[in-house]
Chain A
Amino acid sequence: MDYGTIVAIGLTVFLIYFSLDFDRHYSFGFHNAALHPAARFAAGLALAYVAQTHQLLASVLLVIVFFWIADVNLLADHPL
C-alpha cells in the first residue's frame, strides 16, 4: 500500500467522521453554489478529469462533491 492510498483512506475517514452531524449545513454561499447547476457541472467535470489520472484522489473528491451537493457539512464545528 503506497502513501497515496494511505492518505486517501485517512482523508476519507476524516471526512466521514466530520460529516456525522447531519443537522448542520454549509454556509449560505456554499449551499447556494451547490444548488447552481453550473457549479455542480464544473465539479463533476473536475472529478472526471482527476479520475483519469488518479483514482484514489478522485474517490475522495467524489465523497466531498457528493456531500457538498447533499448539503452535508464536512466542516461542521464537531467536538472532538
Chain B
Amino acid sequence: MNPPPGPGSGSGSFSGPIWHPPIATKWIIVIVLVFLGAVANRIPHQLRFYLIQPVGFFLIALAAMLCYWTGFYAGTFALFFFLLSIWSAEARSPEGFLNASNTVDWVTNSKKWFVEKVLKEQPLAIQEKDVSTSAISD
C-alpha cells in the first residue's frame, strides 16, 4: 500500500519526501483513532470530559462528516468509534469517592469496628451508608 512514487523519482532528480511510511498516512490516522477508542478508559478523565462536551462532540462529528464527503469512509467510522468509546468510558467511569461528596461519610474518630480491628483496616470513609429498597412486586 505504498503511495506511488513521484513523477521525477526515477530520473535521478529529487522530488517529494525522502521516506514514505509503509502504509498511507490516512490509514495510520485510522489505526491511531481506533487504538485510542480501544483504550478509552485509560485516557485521562479531564480530556474525556472535554471531548464529550457539545463543542467537542460537534467538532468530532464535523470531522467525520468531512471524511465522509471526501470519500474516506473508514475515517468517518473510526471517528464515530472513537467518539462512542469515549462516551461509553465516560458514562461508566467510577463514581463514589471521586465525586460523591454528598453520600460519603468520612471517618473522623479512631474507634474501630470489630471487623476492622481483625482485618487491620484503616478506613477513610464510608461510601455505602444508605441503602435504597423498594417494595416487592410480582
Interface residues of A (CB under 8 A from B): 37-38, 40-41, 44-45, 47-49, 51-52, 55, 58, 62, 65-66, 69-71
Identify which of residues 80-119 in chain B touch chain A, using a CB-to-CB cut-off of 8 Å: 80-81, 84-85, 88, 91-92
Looking at B74, B75, B76, B77, which has the most chain A CB atoms within 10 Å of its CB?
B77
Residues of B within 8 A of A70 (CB): 84, 88, 91-92
- A16–chain B nearest beta-carbon distance, Å: 15
Residues of chain B contacted by A38 (CB below 8 angstroms) = 38
- Give min CB distance, B70 to chain A, whole Å: 13
Partner of A37, one of B38, B84, B88, B91: B38
B residues adjacent to A (C-beta < 8 A): 30-31, 34-35, 37-39, 42, 73-78, 80-81, 84-85, 88, 91-92
* Known contacts A37-B39, A40-B37, A45-B31, A69 near B88 by CB under 8 Å: yes
The CA of A58 and the CA of B78, in the complex, are separated in Å by 11
User: Can you name 27 A-B residue pairings with CB atoms under 8 Å?
Assistant: A40-B37, A40-B38, A41-B35, A44-B34, A44-B35, A44-B37, A44-B78, A45-B31, A45-B34, A47-B77, A47-B78, A48-B30, A48-B34, A48-B75, A48-B78, A51-B73, A51-B78, A52-B74, A55-B73, A58-B77, A62-B77, A66-B84, A66-B88, A70-B84, A70-B88, A70-B91, A70-B92
Are B35 and A51 closer than 8 Å at their CB atoms? no
B81, A44: Cβ atoms closer than 8 Å: yes
CB–CB B74/A49 < 8 A? yes
The complex places the Cα of A51 from the Cα of B85 at a distance, in Å, of 17
Interface of B, secondary structure class, is: helix
Known: A37-B39, A41-B34. A58 touches B73 (CB 8 A): yes
Instruction: Return the chain A residue nearest B31 by Cβ.
Output: A45
Contact present for A48 and B35 (CB under 8 Å): no
Bound CA–CA A51/B76 (angstroms): 8
Tell me, in angstroms, the Cα distance from A24 to B101 when the chains sit together.
30
CB neighbours (8 Å) of B80 from chain A are 62
Residues of A within 8 A of B34 (CB): 41, 44-45, 47-48
